A = this chain, B = another copy of it.
Amino acid sequence: MDFAFSPRVEELRRRVAAFMDEHVYPNERLAEQQVAASDDEHREPPIVTEIRARAKREGLWNFFMPDREWGQGLSNHEYAPLCEIMGRSPIGPRAFNCMAPDTGNMEILAEFGTREQHERWLKPCLEGKMRTCFSMTEPETAGSDPTQLQTRAVRDGDDYVINGHKWFTTGAMHAGFAIVMAVTDPAAPPHRRASQIIVPAGTPGFNIIRPVPVMGHTGGGGHCEIRYEDCRVPATNLLGKEGDGFAIAQARLGPGRIHHCMRTIGVAERALELACKRANTRFTHGSLLADKANIQEWIAESRIEIDATRLMVMHAAWKMDTAGKREARNEISMIKVMAANMVMRVLDRAIQVHGAMGVSDDTPIARFWRDSRALRIVDGPDEVHRMAIARRELRRWKD
A377 within 8 A of B: yes
CB of A360 within 8 A of CB of B223, answer: yes
Q: Which of A306-337 contact B (CB under 8 A)?
A: 307-309, 311-312, 314-315, 318-319, 334, 337
Residues in B whose Cβ lies below 8 Å from that of A355: 142-143, 377, 381
CB of A359 within 8 A of CB of B214, answer: yes
Q: Which of A12-20, A125-133, A243-251, A272-280 contacts B (4 or more CB under 8 A)?
A: A272-280
Given the known A-B contacts A144-B285, A293-B295, A351-B373, are A362 and B212 also in contact in the complex, defined by CB atoms under 8 Å? yes
Digit string of A388-399 for contact with B (CB within 8 Å is 1, else 0)? 011101101110
A296 within 8 A of B: yes
A310 to B43, CA, bound (A): 46
Q: List 14 A-B contacts (CB under 8 A).
A: A1-B5, A1-B318, A3-B319, A139-B356, A143-B355, A213-B360, A214-B361, A215-B361, A223-B356, A294-B297, A308-B311, A308-B338, A352-B377, A358-B377
A231 within 8 A of B: no
Digit string of A368-399 for contact with B (CB within 8 Å is 1, else 0)? 01100110111001111111011101101110
Nearest B-chain residue to A272, judged by Cβ: B393
Chain A residues with CB under 8 Å of chain B are 1-6, 77, 137, 139, 141-145, 148, 167-168, 212-217, 223, 272-273, 276-277, 279-280, 282-285, 290, 292-297, 299-301, 303-304, 307-309, 311-312, 314-315, 318-319, 334, 337-338, 351-352, 355-362, 366-367, 369-370, 373-374, 376-378, 381-387, 389-391, 393-394, 396-398
CB of A382 within 8 A of CB of B142, answer: no
Residues in B whose Cβ lies below 8 Å from that of A216: 215-217, 361, 366-367, 370
CB of A384 within 8 A of CB of B285, answer: yes
CB of A280 within 8 A of CB of B381, answer: no
Residues in B whose Cβ lies below 8 Å from that of A396: 276
| Count of this chain's copies in the oligomeric assembly | 4
Residues in B whose Cβ lies below 8 Å from that of A290: 390, 394
CB of A297 within 8 A of CB of B376, answer: no
Residues in B whose Cβ lies below 8 Å from that of A215: 216, 359, 361, 366, 370
A56 to B352, CA, bound (A): 39
A110 to B318, CA, bound (A): 38
Nearest B-chain residue to A142, judged by Cβ: B284
CB of B142 within 8 A of CB of A283, answer: yes
CB of B389 within 8 A of CB of A299, answer: yes
Shortest CB distance A218–B (Å): 9
A39 to B136, CA, bound (A): 36
Nearest B-chain residue to A314, judged by Cβ: B1
A381 to B358, CA, bound (A): 12
Nearest B-chain residue to A212, judged by Cβ: B360
Q: Point out the residue from B168, B308, B373 that lies within 8 Å of A308, measured CB to CB.
A: B308
Q: Point out the residue from B144, B293, B377 that lies within 8 Å of A293, measured CB to CB.
A: B293
Shortest CB distance A140–B (Å): 10
Nearest B-chain residue to A338, judged by Cβ: B304
Shortest CB distance A6–B (Å): 7
Residues in B whose Cβ lies below 8 Å from that of A337: 300, 304
Given the known A-B contacts A338-B308, A373-B359, are A296 and B4 also in contact in the complex, defined by CB atoms under 8 Å? no
CB of B386 within 8 A of CB of A359, answer: no
A43 to B177, CA, bound (A): 40
Nearest B-chain residue to A391, judged by Cβ: B296
